[in-house]
């Protein structure tokens, strides 16, 4: 439920950011790839952590992979 809740809504960017997190991209790399401001990425990452109820990137990646989310490419 946490991952579905995280990816639901009108903002597809959140799913893109989560996939890039799973590829171990940094916030500046994600910002450059998605043409976003680094602060916007930081805010999205924080929201992802809150919705998944995790505290670290590693936990978010594990939760996403356990739910079947795979890196793009």
Domains of the chain, first to last:
2-66 (1.10.10.10)
Over residues 16-73, the pLDDT tens digits come to 999 899 899 999 999 999 999 999 999 999 999 998 899 999 999 898 888 776 655 5
36: tokens are 């976003």
Over residues 1-31, the pLDDT tens digits come to 556 666 655 467 888 999 899 899 999 999 9
31: tokens are 């910002």
Enter the pTM of the model: 0.79
The gap from C-alpha 40 to its chain's centroid, in whole angstroms, comes to 12
> At what angle are helices 38-52 and 27-34 packed, to 10 degrees?
110
Please compute Rg for the chain using Cα positions: 11
Q: How far apart are CA 70 and CA 36, in angstroms?
A: 22
Mean confidence (pLDDT) of the chain: 84
């Amino acid at each position: 439920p946490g991952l579905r809740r995280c990816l639901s809504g009108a903002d597809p960017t959140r799913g893109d950011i989560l996939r890039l997190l799973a590829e171990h991209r940094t916030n500046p790399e994600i910002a450059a790839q998605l043409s976003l401001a680094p602060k916007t990425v930081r805010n999205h990452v924080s929201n992802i952590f809150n919705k998944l109820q995790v505290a670290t990137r590693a936990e978010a990646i594990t939760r996403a992979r356990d739910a079947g989310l795979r890196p793009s490419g």
